[in-house]
Amino acid sequence: MPLLEVDQLSIGYDTSDGYLSAVSDVSFSLEKGKSLGFVGESGCGKTTIGMALMGLLPPNGSVRSGRILFKEENLLGKSDEAMRQIRWNEIAMIFQAAMNALNPVHRVGDQIAEAILAHRPGVSKDEARHQVKALFEMVGIPKNRMKDYPHQYSGGMKQRAIIAMAMALRPKLIIADEPTTALDVIVQDQILQEAKRLQETLDISMIYISHDISVVAETCHDIGVLYGGQLVEYGSRESVLESPFHPYTKMLLSSFLTVSTKRADVVIVPGDTPNLINPLPGCRFCERCSYYEASCKLKALQYVTISPTHKVLCSRCG
């Protein structure tokens, strides 16, 4: 039984323009100690999935259908108090730009100790401080920096502190939303290698959310490609990156610039992200797709199984 199993999850937002369908029928699963990465353009629903797993959708957002099974229990049926117990204890999240959310007037070490004290009533202050010390060691911040304030930290160190905070209560699952987006490449590399090492040694499951396919390729066992709220391709890292089937995945890969990309290799696809207010049941990518035919837009889509570890949501690539 996988640690996390998400089944036919659909999420929407009530907006002034109408009902926005942010996530449509997304299913995936995650084993203990494995990592899964979601990639896609902004607005494709990747952060919404993370927020739903945490039970932190904004007031105008709601889960329309589906199940989120965490340790075989459906999180969607849980009360607020029960979710509060699971959050941070079992599932932690590294929020987008979280390093800027450290409280500037409290010492970094104290902020992490506070998270431990709030969730573990029996723990004494001294003990919490000890745990923070161990956490700092784990994520590679020198111990003497515990008493520093956030402004004395570099961006990379703040991000390490945020990772330490996410791990403070030893959760089984960590969701990292754009964990390195604001960082320079050298720091990004250090953080990603560190996160990978921690995940392996502590046997944590990870979900990475990123618009940067190279970050996901670097860290994840499985990759899910999202477009307009649909999980258009899902499979092992090798299968998705090396033999992509969905036209959008192909476009995403061919528009990703590597340092050896030649201008002639790049395919420029016109068009923009789709409008998700009351979308048609069919494929959301059809307007930018070169394999488009009339039925794509209207007919509800079925997954095509390429291999046991690889499925594609497209009626034209069977």
Partner 1 sequence: MTLKVMMKGNEQILRLEQVEKIYGPRGAFFNKTGKDVIALSRISFSIGKGEIFGLIGESGSGKTTTGRLILKLEEPDAGKIFFKDKEVATLSGNPLKTFRLRVQMIFQDPYQSLNPQFTVYETVSEPLIIHRLKNKTGRDEQVYDAMQAVQLSPPEDFFSRYPHQLSGGQRQRVAVARALVLHPELIIADEPTSMLDAPISIQIFDILLKIQKTFNVAFLFISHSLAAARYLCQRIGVIYKGHLVELGLGKEVIQSPRHPYTRALLDALPVFAHGKMVKRYETLLKKERENTRAEGCIFYKRCSMARVPDCSYEQPPLADSGSGHLVACPYT
Interacting residues toward partner 1 by CB under 8 A: 41-42, 151, 155, 184-186, 188-189, 192, 211-215, 217-218, 241, 251-252, 255-261, 263, 266, 268-270, 272-273
What 3-state DSSP class applies to 12?
Answer: strand
Other beta carbons within 10 Å of 318: 10
- Residue 260 CB, nearest approach to partner 1 (Å): 4
Q: Which is nearer to partner 1, 255 or 302 (CB)?
A: 255
- Residue 210 CB, nearest approach to partner 1 (Å): 10
Q: Which is nearer to partner 1, 74 or 290 (CB)?
A: 290
Q: Which is nearer to partner 1, 188 or 205 (CB)?
A: 188
Q: Which is nearer to partner 1, 256 or 303 (CB)?
A: 256
Burial class from Cβ neighbours inside 10 Å (0-12, 13-18, 19+) for residue 164 reads: buried
Helix (H) or strand (E) holding 115: helix 108-119
Distance CA 117, CA 303 (A): 46
Nearest to 199 by CA among 35, 5, 30, 28: 35
- Residue 20 CB, nearest approach to partner 1 (Å): 15
Strand order in the sheet with 91-94: 91-94, 173-177, 205-210, 35-39, 222-227, 230-236, 310-313, 303-307
Distance CA 315, CA 243 (A): 17
- Residue 50 CB, nearest approach to partner 1 (Å): 18
Q: Report yes or no: 123 and 117 within 8 Å, Cβ to Cβ.
A: yes
Q: Which is nearer to partner 1, 58 or 263 (CB)?
A: 263
Q: Which is nearer to partner 1, 107 or 211 (CB)?
A: 211
Distance CA 307, CA 239 (A): 9
- Residue 296 CB, nearest approach to partner 1 (Å): 19
